[in-house]
Structure 1
Amino acid sequence: MDFFSTIGGAIMTPLYYVISAIMIGFHKFFSLFLSPSGGWSWALSIVGLTLVIRMALIPLFVKQIKSQRNMQLLQPKVRELQKKYGHDRQKLGEETMKLYKDAGTNPFASCLPLLLQMPIFFALFRLLDQAAKKGTPHGFLNEKLAEQFGQSEIGGRIPLAESFWGARTWGDDPHALVMVVALFLVLAMTATTFMTQRQLMSKNMPADALTGPYAQQQKMLLYVLPVVFGLGGVAFPIGVLLYWTTSNLWTMCQQFYVIRNNPAPGTPAFAAKAERDRLKARRSGTETIDGGAGDVAVEELRPAQRQQPKRQTKAQRQQSARRDQQLKKQGEES
C-alpha cells in the first residue's frame, strides 16, 4: 500500500500545483468584480480551468479524430482479415495490428484525451473534497484560499463541495436545492456524453463501418459510458460536475466543428459538406463539374465581360499616326 501511495502522490502532487495555479489565476481575475469568498468566483474559476485544459489537449484531440477516421476507413480490410483468419485468433490479431501499423493508426489513440483527463478529474475532486472537509491546502492553495474554496456557495445556498448523494436530506430546503442542481448537472453530463458519441456515429462514420466488431464496440460505448458517468456522478461534488459538463460541451462543439469542416470520406457529413461547397460555388458564380473521376472542370456561370481597349496618351497617338504615315508612304513607293 505504501508503494502505491507513493506512486499516487508522485502523480497527483504536480497536478495539484498545476490545477491550483490556474484556478488561483482565474479566481484573482473574477475577484475584481465578484466576491472572493463567493461561489461564483470559484465556479467560474473551475470553468476557466476546464477551458485551459481542453485547449492544451487540442493536439491530442486532432490525433484522436484522425485515428478514428483511419479506423473507420480500414474496417472493410479488417473484415477481409476476419474472413481469412477467423479460425486463428492469434494470426488475426497479428495481421490486424500490422494493418493498423502500416496505416499509421493506433487503436488506443482515441482514448488518450479521456485517459489524460482522468487524473486531472480526480485531482480536482480531492482538492475540493479535502478543502471542504478538512481545509487542507494543496499545491498553491494556502489555508485561507483552501477554506474559501471548500466553503464557497453559489448564491449562498449551493456548496460547490456538496454532491447529490451527500445532500439526501429533503427536509432542509438548501439540501433539496443542492440535489436539484446536482441532478441537473449529472443529467447534463450524461446527455452531452451520449450526444457527442452519437454525433460521431451518425455523421462521421461510413455505412460499411457501421457493421462489424468496431461498430459494435462504438455502439456499446454509446450506451455504457453515459450510464457509468450518470451512476458515478451522484457522488461527485457540484464543482467537479461543473468541470466535467463544461468539458463535455467543449468536446461536443469541437467535434461538431471538425466533422462539419473536415469529414471522413463516404460519410453523411462528407456529402453534406460537398453540397454546401456546391451551393457556395453556385452563389459565387462558379460551379464545379463532376466528370465521374473527381473535379475535372470549372464552368463560368457569369457572362464574360468585354475587354475595353487601353486609353493612349496624346504623345502615343501622335507617334502611332507618324508610324502609319511612314508605312503608307513606303507602300506607295513600292
Structure 2
Amino acid sequence: MLDFLYYPVSLVMRLWHELFGALFGPATGLSWALSVVFLVLTVRALLVRSAWTRMRAARIGRALAPQVARLRERHRGDARALAEATAALHRTHGSSPVAGLGVVFLQLPVFVALLHVLRAFHRPGLTFEQNAAIANYAFPPDQVASFLQARLFGAPLAAWLRMPAEQLAAFGGPPVDGAAVAVVVVVLTVLAAVCTHLGMRYARVDPGAAPQGAARVLAALPWIAPVGVLAGGLLYPAPVALLLYWMTGSVATLVQQLVLTRLLDRRPPVVVAPPAPERSRAPRPGAKPVRRRPAGARR
C-alpha cells in the first residue's frame, strides 16, 4: 500500500550498506548499523534548509509576540480573521507561521517506512532459512540473510525487548542472548530520551509567545516527549535498528539545533517594524463633522 515510501527508504539504506559492507564486511553489525545511521543523516541533510527556515521563523515569531497579542485582542472570537492577520504580519517580515514544517512532515513517513522495512526482515513464525529466502523491498534475499545474522553488541538488529525465545532462535548465526538484547535496547532508548530532552530544551521556544493553553504544553514538552521515547522503546516491540535510528535522529537534532542556533546568533537581530497606528474616525479640530447617509437612502 505504501510501497512508494518503503522502496526509497530501503534503497537508501541498501546503498549505504553496500558502501560500508565493502569497507567492514557485508555481514557485520557495524556495516548495518552505519547504514541506519547514514540513512538518518541523509534525511537530515535534505531537511537542513527547512530546519533553518523554521528556526528563523521562530525567532521572528518571538519578536512579533507583542503584536500578535494585540491581534488576538482585536480579533477575539474570530479565528479566521486572526489567522489572516497573523499570516499578513509574518509576511510583512519575510516569514510565515508555518515555515519549515517540512521537517516534521518528511521525517514521520520515513520513520514509519523504516519501521515497516525493519519488521519485514524478520517475519514471526518463519525459520531463518524461510526468512532469508524472501526479498525485502530493495534488499535481495542474500542481504536479508546478512541482516538477520548481523549483531550489534550481541543483539540482532531486528530483535526487540521481550522478544519470544523461539523468535530469537530464528536469526541464524551464533545463539542470541536475551540479556544482550535487553542491554542494547535499554541503552539506546535512554540515550534517545536524553538527547530528545536536550534538543527540545535548546530549541529556545518561548512559551509566553503562544496562547495560554499551548504555552503550558510547550513548557512541558521537553519532559513529556522523552517519556514517550522511553515508553516506545521499552514497551513497544521496536527493533534494535529502529532504536538506533531514533537515537541517531535525536543526536542529529541536538547537534543541528546547536549549530544553527550559533549561526543565527551571528546574524543581525530581527528588527520588527512598529504597528501602524489606527486611523481615528473623529473629525479634526474645527472641522465640520461629516454625516454619513444610511445605505439605500436617496440623494
TM-score bucket (shorter structure) = 0.7 to 0.9
Aligned residues of 1:81 and 1:92 also touching (Cα < 8 A): yes
How many angstroms does 1:251 deviate by? 1.5
How many angstroms does 1:245 deviate by? 1.1
Percent of aligned positions with the same letter in both sequences? Answer: 27
Aligned residues of 2:52 and 2:100 also touching (Cα < 8 A): no
Per-residue CA deviations over 1:197-251 (Å, capped at 9, x if unaligned) read: 10122xx75x964885664442243233222232222321110111121122111
- 2: CA distance between counterparts of 1:217 and 1:80? 22
- Equivalent residue letter for 1:246: T
Q: Paired residue for 1:58?
A: 48
Per-residue CA deviations over 1:239-270 (Å, capped at 9, x if unaligned) read: 01111211221111111111122128779xxx
> Relative to 1, partners in 2 of residues 1:50 and 1:87: Cα closer, same or farther, differing over 3 Å?
closer
- 2: CA distance between counterparts of 1:52 and 1:90? 38
Aligned residues of 2:47 and 2:102 also touching (Cα < 8 A): no
Q: Paired residue for 1:153?
A: 151
- 1: CA distance between counterparts of 2:41 and 2:164? 28
> Relative to 1, partners in 2 of residues 1:212 and 1:99: Cα closer, same or farther, differing over 3 Å?
farther
Q: Paired residue for 1:176?
A: 179
SS at match of 2:24: coil
Q: Paired residue for 2:172?
A: none
Aligned residues of 1:18 and 1:139 also touching (Cα < 8 A): no
Please report the RMSD computed on the Cα atoms of aligned residues, expressed in angstroms. 3.0
Aligned residues of 1:71 and 1:107 also touching (Cα < 8 A): yes
Figure out how many residues of one structure are paired with residues of the other and give that number.
251
Aligned residues of 1:137 and 1:146 also touching (Cα < 8 A): yes
Q: Paired residue for 1:226?
A: 226
1:38-117 mapped onto 2 (5 Å cutoff): 38-117=28-107
- Equivalent residue letter for 2:223: Y
- Equivalent residue letter for 2:177: P
Structure 1 segments unaligned to the other structure (5+ residues): 1-8, 268-334
Q: Paired residue for 1:163?
A: 160
- Equivalent residue letter for 1:159: P
> Relative to 1, partners in 2 of residues 1:167 and 1:81: Cα closer, same or farther, differing over 3 Å?
farther
TM-score, normalised relative to structure 1: 0.66
SS at match of 2:245: helix
Q: Paired residue for 2:127?
A: none
1:236-251 mapped onto 2 (5 Å cutoff): 236-251=238-253
Give 2:255's match in structure 1, choosing from 253, 256, 262: 253
Larger of the two Rg values belongs to structure: 1
How many angstroms does 1:109 deviate by? 3.2
Aligned residues of 1:68 and 1:110 also touching (Cα < 8 A): no
- 2: CA distance between counterparts of 1:106 and 1:162? 43
Higher helix share: 1
